[in-house]
Amino acid sequence: MNYAFQFDAVFDAWPLLLEGTLHTIALSMAAMAIGLCIAVLCAWGKHAGPRPLAWLINAYIEVIRNTPFLIQLFFFYFALPSIGLQWSASTAALVAMFVNLGAFSAEIIRAGIEAIPKGQIEAGLALNLKRYQVFIYVVLKPALKTIFPALSSQFILLMLTSSVVSAISADDLTSVAASIQSNTFRSFEIYIVVTAIYFALSMAFMALFKLCYQRFLYYPGHR
């Protein structure tokens, strides 16, 4: 096989690659933040909310966890506008991502919450803490410490899954790569570079999550 690697055309398009990378980072971090809030609320609702609310939350989780992300993306971008809900491809991608993350992360957080001993909760109430303070400081924070590896892995998976949003022409790194490939016809080179960028992003997010753990969840003397 006589294949001549030509990365010049790819590197000439570095401003587009940088823009796509920044869009991917922004989209992923926004989805992580909103999805985490949804997950915490859903986990609380399943654990301590009224039964009808728990049923609704469980239905949401089961539907999202048992359908493909691409179908969810198409639903938000193609189906909902047919009933009058109009939004851009980037907005539809963001909504699909945080709805998906919220469902998957809710079960992770719920497992962490249910692992907290009841005696620990009773001790918090005995100290005259309000219920929301007990939930945040006595239940949620120790739970997040326990499940942090699984949760951070889910966040990184979401970032990698964001490449699927190129299917609806949302602005992201994969969409930019497809555009460069169609203009240069250097498929091998562009996707080698994009693979390296996604790998670097994964490592960067891992480092960021480790820093967050050490800053907010690490207790000296505790493993």
- What is the set of domains in the chain, with CATH numbers? 7-217 (1.10.3720.10)
pLDDT at 53: 94
Q: Using the structure block, give the residue that is written with the tokens 């001993």.
A: 117
The angle at the Cα of 37, spanning 208 to 114, to the nearest 5 degrees, equals 95
Given a contact cutoff of 8 angstroms between Cβ atoms, the answer to whether 48 and 109 are in contact is: no
Q: pLDDT by residue (tens digit) across 30-78?
A: 999 999 999 999 999 988 888 999 999 999 999 999 999 999 999 999 9
Arithmetic mean of pLDDT, 150-167: 95
pLDDT at 159: 96
Asked if pLDDT for residue 191 goes beyond 90, the answer is yes
Distances (CA, A) of 102 to 59, 64, 81, 97, 178: 13, 9, 22, 8, 29
Number of other CB atoms surrounding residue 119 within 10 Å:
9
Number of other CB atoms surrounding residue 20 within 10 Å:
24
Asked if pLDDT for residue 125 goes beyond 70, the answer is yes
Number of other CB atoms surrounding residue 7 within 10 Å:
13
Q: pLDDT by residue (tens digit) across 89-114?
A: 999 999 999 999 999 999 999 999 98
Q: Residue 1 — pLDDT band, cuts 50, 70, 90?
A: low
